[in-house]
A = this chain, B = another copy of it.
Amino acid sequence: MSQSSFGNKFKVTTWGESHGKALGAVIDGCPAGLPLCEEDIQKFLDRRKPGQSRYTTARKEGDLVEILSGVFEGKTTGTPISLMVRNTDQRSRDYGNIAYSYRPGHADYTFDQKYGFRDYRGGGRSSGRETIGRVAAGAIASKILEELGISICTYTRSIGPVEIASFNKEEIHQNAFYMPDAQAAVKAGEYLEECMKNQDSAGGVIECRITGTPAGLGEPVFDKLSALLAHALMSIGAVKAVEIGDGIAVTSSNGSTDNDGFTVKDGEIIKTSNHAGGIMGGISDGSEIILRAHIKPTPSISQPQQTVTKDKEPLSLEIHGRHDPVIVPRAVVVVESMAAITLADALFVNMSSQMDKVRDFYRK
């Protein structure tokens, strides 16, 4: 697991820059025999597509995915699946200040420090468009989870100060913010109008609930399922905090409250509560896995900002063009994708943890 790859056995490698020829991903380690077509992936990509409401950028790109390898007669072959999305909006333009100055809140400065120079067009590799490869891979991971009866529900929990007060799953796909509370969605819209009027932007919280996970996923020490999920979510550009289960609330709780007891129901051992968010000692316990990613406000805002050029000249930078006042809604499917990829990988890694099961596997 390093540089541009994620996962041990279900390994995702993404490539591509915002304004390069194309973006894509190679998925290595997908089992053979999974039914897969471009439509399965396109559905996921459409959830992150810009231009879906007045709160997301209007760039009208199709973001159409092409499967280049790894699928034969409608099923995966077990060999690497190469996915590509051509960039259609590649017309040459004047990047002006952006080419030689450092946008606050962006990776311009750190890329120059690390690499000596950078592809400044639209943020290059540090652009949110890089997540196209993740979401395409996430669609495949989700199909695997589905085959095993695991489902993921991801939604916006808050935008700026506006938090959901109720939960209606049906509502999630009914509003522009993917919020499970229609009233909160209305208030979030009002808050964003205010932000836009101020030439400003907002952040928010995305929550992810995973049901149907078998117990036993995750490794006991460094590769705890919780650690892998934190890695996965914190690798999304704008995420600044990650919580599992009760998260930060545990620090002011007590052991007697926070501990989840056990009981037996219908002949199965279950927990009497789920403060842990489905992961105990880093290993899934079979109950619902609960994650939260905290997203910072969009760094691109149109009001003037203080910065410097590469040559150390001060500059009052104004970023023109249309930018999302909040990226939270479009990031919902990115969070879901990273969670799905992490789970799929953990499922495969876990398969050799008991000698009896290994023996059964090969004796069949």
Contacts and interface: CB of A to CB of B under 8 A. Distances in A.
Contacts of A80: 3-4, 13-16
A114 to B, nearest CB: 4
A29 B240 contact: no
A168 interface: no
A33 B220 contact: no
Given A243-B241, A255-B200, A296 B235 contact: no
A84 B21 CA distance: 12
Contact of A124 (B72, B216, B297): B72
A294 interface: yes
Interface residues of A, number: 169
A303 interface: yes
Give the one of A256, A263, A267, A272 with max B CB within 10 A.
Answer: A256
Interface in A87-105: 102, 104-105
Contacts of A47: none
A306 B261 contact: yes
A51 to B, nearest CB: 21
A259 B305 contact: yes
B14 A221 contact: yes
A217 B113 CA distance: 9
A358 B148 contact: yes
A208 to B, nearest CB: 14
Given A243-B240, A295-B251, A130 B221 contact: yes
Given A32-B354, A104-B259, A258-B296, A361 B359 contact: no
A202 B33 contact: no
B355 A147 contact: yes
28 contacts: A3-B11, A3-B221, A13-B80, A14-B221, A15-B70, A21-B67, A21-B69, A24-B68, A29-B352, A32-B355, A33-B115, A33-B355, A79-B124, A107-B280, A110-B281, A116-B356, A160-B254, A203-B258, A227-B231, A241-B242, A241-B247, A242-B242, A262-B306, A262-B307, A264-B308, A264-B312, A348-B352, A361-B361
Sort A-B residue pairs by CB-CB distance and give the 6 closest, nearest first.
A107-B281, A201-B255, A110-B283, A231-B231, A105-B259, A32-B115
